[in-house]
Amino acid sequence: MAVKIRLARHGAKKRPYYRIVVADGRMPRDGRYIDLVGRYNPLSDPKTIDIDIEKVDAWVAKGAQPSNAVSHLIDIVKNGTPAPEKKRKLSKKAAAKASAGSDESTE
């Protein structure tokens, strides 16, 4: 059983509100979960992140894997600031366009 720590979407249409849950990886996104470890409201100003770090650490010690979004939220709660985002590599088309654009501007 692969246990994941992930976001479960609640709220209304166009008004998302997320619960941070520990769930079996085979369950649906909003389906049955094992434990509720936090909440995340992206629409409030500032964004509300409420995570029980002790519970998360306990589940990670047991082998649960946080999703990318949840690991980002955990970093924010632990460090106070988000981890730096990785630079995305340009696709071949975009890279060709960018290099062609820079060649024209130098002439």
CATH number assigned to the domain comprising residue 20: 3.30.1320.10
The mean of the pLDDT values for the chain is 87
As for how many domains the chain has, the answer is 1
Averaged pLDDT, 53-80: 93
pLDDT of residue 77: 92
Averaged pLDDT, 58-86: 87
Alpha-carbon distance 21 to 4, whole Å?
8
* Domain ranges, residue 20: 3-106
pLDDT of residue 88: 75
Averaged pLDDT, 76-85: 76
More confident site: 66 or 45: 66
pLDDT band at 103 (very low <50, low <70, confident <90, very high): low
